[in-house]
Structure 1
Amino acid sequence: MTSLATVYDRERERAVDPEQREDSVARQQGGSDSELKLEKDGMSDTESKVDSGVPEVPVPPDDTPEVLNKALSGLSSRWKNWWVRGILTLAMISFFFFIIYLGPMVLMMIVLCVQIKCFQEIITIGYSVYHSYHLPWFRTLSWYFLLCVNYFFYGETVTDYFFTLVQREEPLRILSKYHRFISFALYLTGFCMFVLSLVKKHYRLQFYMFGWTHVTLLIVVTQSHLIIHNLFEGMIWFIVPISCVICNDIMAYMFGFFFGRTPLIKLSPKKTWEGFIGGFFSTIVFGIMLSYVMAGYRYFVCPVEFNNDSNSFQVDCEPSDLFQLQDYALPSIMESVTGWTTVHLYPFQIHSIALSSFASIVGPFGGFFASGFKRAFKIKDFANTIPGHGGIMDRFDCQYLMATFVNVYIASFIRGPNPSKVIQQLLALRADQQLHIFNSLKAHLTEKGLLKNTSGENK
């Protein structure tokens, strides 16, 4: 009997991956025989089999439009893929220009739609594994948590940018006042629902999928919220970073397609150093040129603000110094090459070099991360939404990383205190609080000599 149990344990160790083998050894060393017996009895054969390896996710079928299939039927698969990607890329760029023309509100709605689609693609991969167990509520809870997190983030945004509208409407004022408590209560409800959904013998997998959902929310919802915050700073902070990532992706693909010889990273065998370097320099030049064109238009550089009179967004202001042409002296080396002593640039163009550099050097690591995720689950793309490109997440994997960088960059080097928002917050205070702040500010300005001391005259 002892030898049979030993053989059983050895066979079970071979069936699991290294992490599970380490857990098994630890349990054997630290646990009693009765605990091991309960562990074996509590795990079904099906669960052991699935947990032991990488789950298989169905590969989406090729959904290239029939028109393109017929038109490109005479080409090799390599060139056929090149043309399909190129045509669809031009179509997506045209659509991008169209939504920019429609204004900031449409852009925000598109960001929300992209966020929901990316969340759906990632959750579907997890659900394809989880559904086989017929366990309750995973998909329902995933979408419920998405709703809760969006309610929290967008509620914060509404309170911040629609302050006067919120204060004017009684229901909105109540929701704004107790917004965080309501958000927490909603999340707590989902948390309790998850605990109630736990099924015996499948606890480990259920907690695994609970973590899957929350990491997806962190990656997708948080980043899309930062994109909207960047948009409110001015559409140029939304368009230039996104365009730089698009340019880098296109140019890296072009340079890699025609000149690529040296592999860059094992996670993406098709990525080459030639494409990486060519994409870097192309994106720097593109970022400087695009910034020069856009910095001259108020529509792109002015912050997006809510007009209380018309109850709509407006983009109109006096451009800041960041978007005023200035003369910059060139270093002696560049002066000897170009023959110029100074150049006429917008300060934003200098910042665009930082944005372009990040999009070219660090941005691709978002794509590498996504490649590692797809390889872990043995899938080619997140979905087959866009022929030749995969899913929406395949196109926005680098964009989310870029959004975080832009938001941090603005907060660190660009944004200062906003007087209008300070005034809005002051007006929401009680009269005695406003009077206290007024007297404190008056005393401070008098002490600095900006106001005359009229106390002696009053006496």
Structure 2
Amino acid sequence: MANAAVRQFRQSVAHTLRRGAETEGKERDGASDNETKSESGVPEVPVPADDTPEVLNKALSGLSSRWKNWWVRGILTPAMISFFFIIIYLGPMVLMMIVLCIQIKCFHEIITIGYSVYHSYHLPWFRTLSWYFLLCVNYFFYGETVTDYFFTLVQREEPLRILSKYHRFISFALYLTGFCMFVLSLVKKHYRLQFYMFGWTHVTLLIVVTQSHLIIHNLFEGMIWFIVPISCVICNDIMAYMFGFFFGRTPLIKLSPKKTWEGFIGGFFATIVFGILLSYVMSGYRFFVCPVEFNNDSNSFTVDCKPSELFQLQDYGLPPVLQSITGWTIVKLYPFQIHSIALSAFASIMGPFGGFFASGFKRAFKIKDFANTIPGHGGIMDRFDCQYLMATFVNVYIASFIRGPNPSKVIQQLLALRPDQQLHIFNSLKAHLTEKGLLPLLEEAA
């Protein structure tokens, strides 16, 4: 009897202790959850107000939201394409300035989302540091471009020569200053959040600034390398939307429920045809095919050269299957048209993944668009989410399959050397050409 009472007492104590431990554990877990929510909880980003012009709202008031969006896009898209033609006509310098402005606006839209998500924590210096890092990265990339493409001008001006010589050290010092400012801005209880935002800023810089820098490099290879890829992405976006709007039935990807296989396939074939035709038209004009170079005599950009073989008509034999269909055995094409097929295919197949990536980003923060800059289209980043991925591909494609050594740049660098260094290179080159048996032939030709 006594043993039974002792056993029952022990069980009662054990049960009480167990319940107490569970209660304490729940409280601890609840406190931990609250701390996690307080530190890493992500509030929803405010939805931008509809900024569609009042005239369009009244004119389209009787339509459904689907058709209203179609008409708004249909009206504003030609306006944006016309603006694109105007800046092309104004020349490469204006194009570079437009690329810089678009880069800054895209950066602003993404950083604003970060600020809207985390502004309740009043993180110190977040906006200031974000724009400071943008300035540092642009200083580094544009300084590299100026040194590379305007070497003679840089060597001619003493301040520019000093800045060019120590450019990378200055860039690193500027970045290091921002890094130290970030460390000094760390606030207790918000460390994790501040490092989130540090990563946010740097990923944004990687996506936006680096890609815009590659766009400018593509532009210097010839405006055709700038215009055709961008036009192919625009064409694919429009044609995929049109095919999907009228014929779309099969969903393509869950991230973008409105994207359909019909739109994807229709946009692909339309973009291939468009790329070939646009390349044929542009390849016949020096203004588009010649590299953009800086004329030191006039201190201005020049686009004039003898077109390379890439932009000269050549005969191509058709496969037997196409011969039987068309009745042609040979067609005249510019070699660039063959390359345009690769550019168009990438714009149609891989380019949309830039849009899917942006869609996933927007869904993560429960927003429809990055901003409401363009009625019916969203923000600037909504229009250029595929362009940045395309810019990287074009730059890699040119470096891998097109670009060769540039003699003019080599000569510019040689002229910047000391006389004894130039003489040493001359003697080395002369000995090499003599050994190859080329120098006597050159002397006889002279």
Within the candidate set 267, 290, 299, 1:279 is matched to 267
Partners of 1:52 and 1:237 lie apart in 2 by 43
Q: Give the share of equivalent positions with the same residue, in percent.
A: 90
1:337 aligns with one of 302, 307, 325:
325
2:12 is aligned to none
1:233-286, Cα deviation, whole Å (9 max, x unpaired): 000000000000000000000000000000000000000000000000000000
Query: What residue in structure 2 maps to residue 306 of structure 1?
Result: 294
Change (3 A) 1:163 1:310: same
- Of 427-436 and 106-115, deviating more is 427-436
What does the per-residue CA deviation read over 1:420-440, in whole Å, with 9 as the maximum and x for residues that have no partner? 000111111122211111111
- Offset, 1:131: 1.8
C-alpha separation in 2, matches of 1:371 and 1:285: 27
Alignment counterpart, residue 392 of structure 1, candidates 380, 397, 419: 380
Of 210, 222, 232, the residue aligned with 1:222 is 210
Aligned pairs for 1:181-200 within 5 A: 181-200=169-188
Shift of 1:51: 4.2
Query: Distance in 2 between the 1:296 and 1:392 partners?
Result: 32
Please name the residue that 1:451 is paired with: 439
Alignment correspondent of 1:143: 131
Partner residue, 1:20: none
Between 1:435-444 and 1:245-254, the stretch displaced more is: 435-444
How far off is 1:76 after superposition?
1.2
Instruction: Report which stretch shifted further, 157-166 or 277-286.
Output: 157-166
Structure 2 partner of 1:5? 24
Aligned to 2:352: 364
What residue in structure 1 maps to residue 444 of structure 2? none
Supply the distance in 2 between the matched residues of 1:136 and 1:206 (Cα, whole angstroms): 9
| Cα displacement (A) at 1:52 | 5.3
Could you tell which deviates more after superposition, 430-439 or 178-187? 430-439
Code of the residue aligned with 2:285 in structure 1: it is Y
2:252 aligned counterpart, secondary structure: strand
Local SS of the residue matching 1:452: helix
Contact 1:54 1:376 in 2 (8 A): no
> Matched residue of 1:328: which SS?
strand
Equivalent residue number for residue 161 of structure 1: 149
- Please say if 1:407 is aligned against 2:426: no
Tell me the secondary structure at the aligned position of residue 380 of structure 1. coil
What's 1:25 paired with? none
Question: Are residues 1:108 and 2:96 paired?
Answer: yes
Q: How does 1:13-412 map to 2 (within 5 A)?
A: 15=33, 48-51=36-39, 53-412=41-400
Aligned length: 423
Task: Give SS of 1:381's match.
Answer: coil
Aligned partners of 2:42 and 2:118 also within 8 Å = no
Contact 2:311 2:336 in 1 (8 A): yes
Distance 2:407 2:346 in 1: 31
Partners of 1:324 and 1:347 within 8 A in 2:
yes
Q: What SS is found at the alignment partner of 1:429? A: coil
Contact 1:104 1:304 in 2 (8 A): yes
Distance 1:217 1:52 in 2: 22
Alignment partners' CA distance in 2, 1:345 and 1:51: 61
2:93 is aligned with what amino acid?
M
CA RMSD, 1 decimal: 1.3
Cα distance in 2, alignment partners of residues 232 and 52 from structure 1: 44
Secondary structure in 1 aligned to 2:439?
coil
* TM-score, normalising length: structure 2: 0.93
SS of the residue corresponding to residue 200 of structure 2 reads: helix
Amino acid at match of 1:7: K
1:420 maps onto 2:408 in alignment: yes
Query: Gaps spanning 5+ residues in structure 2: where?
Result: 1-19, 442-446
Q: Is the 8 A contact 2:290 2:304 kept in 1?
A: yes
Largest Rg, 1 or 2: 2
